[in-house]
């Protein structure tokens, strides 16, 4: 473990969190993978242990810790054979709650952020739309001011925690004619009438609920606007660097888990009178992947460290997600191959890991979109600055 980033306190937290996952989460994973429903009691246990409040202010029940506690949180969640469960936890804690903390007023923080930290409320971030995909500025959902309320109409899709959430952080256009300058962010309680959530059937991430959500004349109070009207797009962009780094860390962690499992398997499996860990073709393939994963991990840690010190790392975060998710897919594909027929069996972790990993280059901005963003920075010399101070 790199001592430049991880202190003794970090290592103690890793041991505590790993033990918690083994005792409280792992015994339920297979059931949640089959049902696609994570039971609410585990959210409360996470909250009681303080795991949802790592980076958030103490005033709302958080611990105000550095980002490397979150790195540990993400890495250990990737090593319990369910990226779907992991996604449900980090999408709540670092997508929905990030906006509550950054743009929510004191009332919203007291009522929703505190309850999210304690595990009493589950949140979902609603940005992606059926016709928009990675094109955030092309969203069609509207929020029209009428008397003392906003009326929301439209739809969102691929929303993690969308079925069982207690609240949504919703991006909608308050002035559609202004394009991305007309987007605002809202807090929408899911008990509000006019909301319908449909569960989607996915290739992977089976334990998490992913929804398509429709808003049909959903009325919310004016005070549920978060931040300033028309500043939604900058708010979203501001947080994308952190989201991309989260997905990069997830990627290197699941690839590392695949390698560790495969090495253990190779040391036990025999063929032609020898352990397959002695076969040169497999050994050399594995160490190439291990080298790629280590490169990603070192780069990702460095980017997190810079973000932790307040730097704007949109370029590095975009590179991190682009490369790490690609390396994870390639690594896990090879690891499954090394298990032969057993790799294709559901009782072994590589089959599920392969499906779960495939979401990496898609979610949070596809690899193709990320390449174009990087092209603008590297080739066109476009300089992105923090959208909101």
Q: Determine phi and psi for 184, rounding to 5 degrees.
A: -130, 165
Beta bridge partners of 150: 145, 220
Q: Out of 129, 229, 243, 316, which one is annotated catalytic?
A: 243
Which three-class secondary structure string do you get for the chain? CCCCCCCHHHHHHHHHHHHHHHHHHHHHHHHHHHHCCCCHHHHHHHHHCCCCCCCCCHHHCCCCCCHHHHHHHHHHHCCCCCHHHHHHHHHHHHHHHHHHHHHCCHHHHHHHHHHHHCCCCCEEEECCCCCCCCCHHHCCCEEEEECCEEEEEEEEEEEECCCCCCEEEEEEECCHHHHHHHEEEEEEECCCCCEEEEECCCCCCCCCCEEEEEEEEEEEEHHHEECCCCCHHHHHHHHHHHHHHHHHHHHHHHHHHHHHHHHHHHHHCEECCEEHHHCHHHHHHHHHHHHHHHHHHHHHHHHHHHHHCCCCCHHHHHHHHHHHHHHHHHHHHHHHHHCHHHHHCCCCHHHHHHHHHCCCCCCCCCHHHHHHHHHHHHCCCCCCCCCCC
CA distance 143 to 152: 4
Give the tokens for residue 194. Answer: 């006019």
What is the rounded distance in angstroms from the CA atom of residue 43 to the CA atom of residue 116? Answer: 9
Distance CA 125, CA 93 (A): 10
Is residue 243 annotated as part of the catalytic site, yes or no?
A: yes
Query: What are the catalytic residues?
Result: 243
């Amino acid at each position: 473990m790199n001592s430049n980033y991880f202190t003794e306190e970090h290592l103690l937290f890793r041991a505590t969190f790993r033990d918690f996952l083994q005792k409280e989460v792992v015994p339920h994973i297979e059931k949640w993978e089959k049902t696609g429903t994570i039971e609410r009691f585990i959210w409360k246990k996470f909250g009681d242990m303080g795991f949802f409040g790592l980076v958030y202010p103490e005033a709302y029940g958080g611990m105000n810790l550095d980002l490397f506690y979150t790195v540990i949180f993400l890495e250990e969640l990737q090593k319990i054979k369910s990226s779907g469960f992991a996604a449900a936890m980090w999408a709540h804690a670092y997508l929905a709650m990030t906006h509550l903390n950054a743009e929510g007023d004191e009332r919203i923080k007291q009522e929703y952020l505190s309850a999210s930290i304690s595990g009493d409320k589950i949140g979902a971030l609603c940005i992606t739309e059926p016709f928009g995909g990675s094109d955030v500025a092309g969203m069609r959902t509207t929020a029209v001011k009428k008397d003392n309320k906003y009326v929301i109409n439209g739809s969102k899709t691929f929303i993690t925690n969308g079925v069982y959430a207690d609240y949504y952080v919703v991006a909608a256009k308050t002035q559609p004619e202004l394009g991305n300058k007309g987007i605002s962010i809202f807090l929408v309680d899911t008990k509000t009438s006019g909301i319908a959530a449909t569960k989607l059937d996915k290739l992977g991430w089976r334990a998490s609920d992913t929804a398509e959500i429709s808003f049909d004349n959903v009325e919310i109070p004016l005070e549920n606007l978060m931040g300033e009207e028309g500043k939604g797009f900058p708010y979203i962009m501001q947080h994308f660097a952190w989201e991309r780094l989260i997905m990069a860390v997830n990627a290197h962690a699941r690839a590392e888990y695949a390698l560790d499992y495969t090495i253990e398997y190779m040391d036990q499996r025999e063929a032609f009178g020898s352990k397959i860990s002695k076969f040169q073709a497999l050994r050399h393939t594995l160490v190439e992947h291990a080298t790629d994963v280590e490169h990603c991990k070192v780069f990702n840690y460095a980017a997190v460290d810079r973000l932790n010190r307040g730097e704007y790392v949109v370029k590095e975060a975009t590179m991190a997600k682009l490369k790490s998710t690609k390396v994870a897919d390639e690594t896990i594909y090879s690891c499954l191959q090394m298990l032969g027929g057993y790799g294709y069996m559901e009782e072994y972790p590589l089959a599920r890991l392969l499906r779960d990993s495939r979401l990496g280059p898609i979610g949070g901005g596809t690899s193709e979109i990320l390449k174009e963003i990087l092209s603008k920075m590297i080739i066109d010399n476009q300089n992105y600055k923090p959208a909101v101070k």
